[in-house]
């Protein structure tokens, strides 16, 4: 026996449902209900919720649920909990997606809410090696209220005196089908409620369970024309509704199934909702029979208002012209012996530049270590151009944010920001200028932005020309939703991050291996809003379907000001355009090893090509537009 929830681990979807453990019958760790045969249409079950749950590190699950009110949803307790040292622990986080039927459909269709509170029934229990649940009911509270519309509606609660035996009911979910794989489409099947005594007798005769089918449970059997419909791995917590109504009578809890194709001969068991109406009313704080309890059909004629980014056609990746982005820095970093990297950065003041913390660090024995050395090249766009065009400075100090962290095998970073101090001041001129810092109160969602770098292109090789591409900033919740639905990351997109998407016309533009630390600037301005941090992509040609993630600069203005030692709003903070009419007078430092430093640029590019896996997804590179 197993619970109806679906596990997501190592980017693979594994599902399992509360099935009984049989001799020599191996089951997966996960639980869920899945229904086959019929595909739901958009808006057919507008109360349905798709839940993604992070129970513990690298232990993610998917479940179903139901919209209850503007602030609450209903699901199974076992979806939101796990057992540890004989204690029931709450999951770390959960996310609710509404208004959808196709998990692979456009994310703009999703109504998304972070779950801010999980309320598990006080007498919830798991027995029999987590294969049998009592009081398997829970509420989820949304971070902020939803608005009812054509695709999102509250489910109807039943009358307490109803029993429902022999009535036809509908089960629904995204769980495993007869193929052995979970479904991207919301599926449903018709079943029939049976008397609990008959259900108990069925299981006792099979000697499958030693516990009672209580009056707080409800059993259903599939019809002859739907032998594989009903509960299977992947959709615990989903609603059981009376056929041709919007009334919920059960919450998917457990069943016994064939783990390979979802066939079954035993009833599916649901939590009986009528037994928990008082509990729901108490926790939600609204009388179920009062005027304030939402009714199915509220604002049904309103089209769901999902804020879409304004996505006009954006440019392809283009080569840069000399002086087009005069704040751009090319950084070569020696992290340890024979381990060189290339990153981007931005000129901040005469003494400081801005980049990503992961560019200047590496992990050793679970400790974050500083790179051995770094060198900054400014005023250039062509790495193969004459070296007398470069303004070069050795980096004398690397200042990493004190709360910088890297997780998940170096593919996810927090507080990914750092300053580099030049060995001696630079002089501003036509090809070298300070970047403009943003105002702290700006959000930038839907704005067009430009990213830039010398990283890997669609050819699989890094570029010797500075390239740039235009993207669009998206809302962090949309970004989180995109990654959660893909089950790619188990961490949150925080308010200190900023996400961008490329347009359909520029599928290879944006982040790729080789230009972490480079600036993201508002289009047609010199204002930096982000620092290239991490993304997920095809490591061979930079194609991607997920957003690029940048460090959000507005969240670190106080930190920058503190470290640089100059008020950002004072007259002493340099402004873009300082000495812009002056031709750069490139004075090369008198260093015996300068030739070695310059030649290392070409060597680093070569190493970048060979070490894309070492550089990891955290390095941003743009692919076709030359600056």
**Tokens 């005023």 belong to which residue?**
379
**Who's near 309: CB < 8 A, 6+ residues apart?**
445, 446, 472, 473, 474, 501
- Answer yes or no: is 188 within a domain: yes
Q: Are residues 225 and 343 in the same domain?
A: no
- Answer yes or no: is 623 within a domain: no
Q: Are residues 411 and 549 in the same domain?
A: yes
Residue 110 annotated among the catalytic residues of the structure = no
Q: Are residues 328 and 246 in the same domain?
A: no
Q: Are residues 489 and 536 in the same domain?
A: yes
What residue numbers bound the domain in which 478 lies?
318-589+598-603
Q: Are residues 324 and 275 in the same domain?
A: no
Q: What distance, in Å, lies between the first and last C-alpha atoms of the chain?
A: 61
Q: Are residues 533 and 469 in the same domain?
A: yes
Residue 547, CA distances (Å) to 331, 416, 537 in order: 25, 17, 9
Bridge partners of 151, per DSSP, are none
Q: Which helix (H) or strand (E) holds 421?
A: strand 418-422
- Answer yes or no: is 299 within a domain: no
**Who's near 586: CB < 8 A, 6+ residues apart?**
379, 388, 389, 390, 391
Q: Which of 15, 183, 506, 516 is catalytic?
A: 516
**Who's near 330: CB < 8 A, 6+ residues apart?**
342, 344, 345, 376, 377, 378, 380, 383, 454, 601
Residue 533 annotated among the catalytic residues of the structure = no
pLDDT confidence of residue 21: 25
Residue 471 annotated among the catalytic residues of the structure = no
Which tens digits make up the pLDDT trace of 463-498? 888 988 888 898 888 888 777 765 555 667 889 999
Q: Are residues 192 and 86 in the same domain?
A: yes
- Answer yes or no: is 20 within a domain: no
Instruction: Give the closest residue to 619 by CA, choosing from 434, 251, 358, 288.
Output: 358
Q: Are residues 131 and 203 in the same domain?
A: yes
Contact (Cβ atoms closer than 8 angstroms) between residue 378 and residue 331: no
pLDDT confidence of residue 207: 61
- Answer yes or no: is 4 within a domain: no
Using only the alpha carbons of the chain, give its radius of gyration. 28
SS3 236: coil
Q: Are residues 243 and 325 in the same domain?
A: no
Contact (Cβ atoms closer than 8 angstroms) between residue 497 and residue 474: no
Query: Residue 437 is part of a domain; what is its CATH number?
Result: 2.40.10.120
| Token pair for 235 | 């959709």
Q: Which of 78, 95, 358, 401 is catalytic?
A: 358
- What does pTM read for this prediction? 0.57
Q: Using CA atoms, how far apart are residues 82 and 223, in angstroms rounded to an integer?
A: 33
pLDDT confidence of residue 309: 35
Q: Are residues 240 and 332 in the same domain?
A: no
- Answer yes or no: is 569 within a domain: yes
Overall domain count for the chain = 2
The 10 Å CB-count burial string (b at 16+, else e) for 83-114 is eeeeeeeebbbbbbbbbbbebeeebebbbbbb
Regions in the chain scoring below 50 on pLDDT: 1-2, 4, 6-36, 130, 225, 227-228, 307-316, 410, 504-508, 588-625
Q: Are residues 340 and 241 in the same domain?
A: no
- Answer yes or no: is 625 within a domain: no
- Answer yes or no: is 59 within a domain: yes
Q: Which helix (H) or strand (E) holds 38?
A: strand 38-39
Q: Which of 268, 416, 515, 548 is catalytic?
A: 416
Q: Are residues 206 and 351 in the same domain?
A: no
Per DSSP (E only), the strands in 323-460 are: 328-336, 339-347, 352-355, 361-364, 367-370, 373-378, 391-400, 405-407, 412-414, 418-422, 448-453
């Amino acid at each position: 026996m197993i619970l109806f929830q679906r596990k997501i681990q190592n980017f693979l979807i594994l599902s399992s449902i509360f099935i009984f453990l049989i001799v020599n019958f191996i089951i997966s760790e996960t639980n869920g209900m899945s229904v086959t045969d019929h595909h739901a249409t958009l808006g057919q079950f507008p109360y349905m919720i798709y839940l993604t749950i992070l129970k513990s590190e690298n232990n993610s699950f998917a479940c179903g649920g139901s919209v209850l009110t503007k602030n609450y949803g209903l699901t199974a307790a076992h979806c939101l909990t796990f057992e540890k040292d004989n204690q029931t622990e709450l999951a770390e986080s959960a996310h609710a997606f509404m208004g959808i039927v196709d998990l692979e459909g456009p994310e703009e269709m999703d109504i998304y809410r972070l779950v801010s509170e999980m309320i598990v029934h006080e007498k919830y229990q798991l027995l029999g090696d987590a294969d049998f649940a009592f009081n398997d009911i829970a509420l989820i509270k949304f971070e902020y209220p939803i608005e009812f519309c054509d695709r999102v509606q509250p489910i109807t609660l039943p009358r307490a005196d109803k029993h429902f035996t022999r009535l036809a009911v509908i089960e629904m979910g995204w769980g495993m089908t007869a193929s052995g794989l979970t479904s991207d489409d919301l599926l449903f099947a018709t079943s029939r409620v049976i008397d609990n005594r008959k259900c108990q007798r069925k299981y006792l005769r099979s000697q499958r369970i030693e516990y009672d089918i209580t009056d707080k449970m409800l059993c259903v059997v599939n019809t002859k024309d739907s032998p594989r419909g009903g509960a299977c791995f992947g959709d615990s917590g989903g609603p059981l509704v009376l056929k041709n109504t919007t009334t919920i009578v059960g919450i998917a809890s457990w069943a016994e199934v064939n783990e390979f194709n979802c066939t079954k001969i035993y009833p599916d068991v649901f939590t009986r909702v009528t037994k928990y109406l008082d509990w729901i009313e108490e926790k939600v704080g609204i009388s179920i029979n009062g005027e304030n309890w939402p009714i199915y059909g509220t604002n049904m004629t309103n089209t769901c208002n999902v804020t879409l980014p304004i996505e006009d056609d954006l440019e392809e990746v283009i080569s840069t012209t000399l002086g087009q982005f005069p704040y751009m820095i090319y950084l070569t970093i020696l992290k340890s012996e024979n381990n060189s990297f290339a990153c981007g950065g931005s000129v901040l003041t005469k003494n400081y530049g801005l980049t990503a913390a992961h560019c200047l660090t590496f992990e050793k024995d679970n400790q974050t270590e500083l790179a051995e050395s770094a060198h900054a090249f400014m005023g250039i766009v062509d790495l193969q151009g004459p070296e007398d065009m470069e303004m070069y400075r050795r980096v004398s100090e690397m200042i990493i944010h004190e709360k910088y962290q890297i997780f998940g095998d170096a593919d996810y970073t927090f507080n990914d920001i750092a300053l580099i101090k030049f060995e001696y001041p630079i002089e501003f001129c036509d090809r070298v200028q300070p970047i403009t810092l943003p105002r702290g109160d700006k959000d930038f969602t839907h704005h067009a932005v430009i990213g830039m770098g010398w990283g890997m292109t669609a050819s699989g090789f890094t570029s010797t020309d500075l390239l740039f591409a235009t993207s669009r900033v998206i809302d962090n919740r949309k970004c989180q939703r995109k990654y959660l639905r893909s089950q790619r990351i188990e961490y949150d997109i925080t308010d200190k991050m900023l996400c961008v998407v490329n347009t359909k016309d520029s599928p290879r533009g944006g982040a790729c291996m080789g230009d972490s630390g480079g600036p993201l600037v508002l289009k047609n301005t010199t204002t930096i809003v982000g620092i290239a941090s991490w993304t997920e992509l095809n490591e061979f040609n930079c194609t991607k379907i997920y957003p690029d993630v940048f460090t959000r600069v507005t969240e670190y203005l106080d930190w920058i000001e503190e470290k640089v030692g100059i008020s950002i709003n004072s007259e002493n903070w340099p402004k873009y355009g300082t000495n812009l009419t002056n031709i750069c007078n490139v004075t090369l430092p008198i260093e015996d090893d300068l030739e070695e430093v310059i030649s290392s640029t070409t060597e680093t590019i070569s190493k970048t090509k060979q070490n894309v896996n070492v550089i990891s997804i955290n390095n941003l590179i743009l692919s076709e537009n030359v600056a």
